[in-house]
Amino acid sequence: MILVDDLLLKPFVSLLDILHAMVLDELHDMGAIRDEIKENQLLYELGERPESEYERKKGRLEAELQVAEEVHEKLISGNIEVQ
C-alpha cells in the first residue's frame, strides 16, 4: 500500500501509481461536471429540456460532483491509497 505523496520521496516506486492517480483525477473532472450542471440549467431555462429530465440529470451530476470533490481532496492531501 502506497500513499500518493510517497511518490515524491520514492521516484522509482511505480509509474503505475502515478498514472492511477492521474486517471482518477481525469475520471472525476470537477470542471467538466460543473460545465454539465451549467449546461443542464441553461437548457432547462430556455425550455429545451423538460423538467423531469432536468431534475434527473441535476441529481446525477450533483452526486458525481460530490464524489469528484472527495477524490480530489484525497488526491491533494495525499491520503488516497493506491494498491
Partner 1 sequence: MSDDNSNLYVYGIIEQTDIEMEVDGVYGASTLGTVDYRSHSALTSTIDTTDPERTDEAVATHDDVLRAVVERDDVETVVPMGFGMAFKNARTLKGVMRGAQRAFRKALNDVEGCVELGIKLVDPADGATDADELRGALEDELDPLSAGQTEDDLFSDRLIANRSYLVEQDQRDAFDEAVERVETENEDVLVKYTGPWAPYNFVDIHIGAEASN
Smallest distance from partner 1 to CB 53, Å:
13
Question: Is residue 59 within a helix (H) or strand (E), and if so which, with residue range?
Answer: helix 51-77
Among 10, 15, 22, 48, binds partner 1 (CB under 8 A): 48
Q: Of the ranges 2-10, 11-19, 43-51, 75-83, which one interacts with partner 1 (CB under 8 A)?
A: 43-51
Please check whether residue 33 is in contact with residue 68, taking contact to mean a CB–CB distance below 8 angstroms. yes
**39 lines the binding site for partner 1 (CB under 8 A):** yes
Query: Which amino acid makes up residue 3?
Result: L
- Whats the size of the chain, residue-wise? 83
Question: Which of the 8 DSSP states describes residue 78?
Answer: T
Q: Which is nearer to partner 1, 13 or 43 (CB)?
A: 43
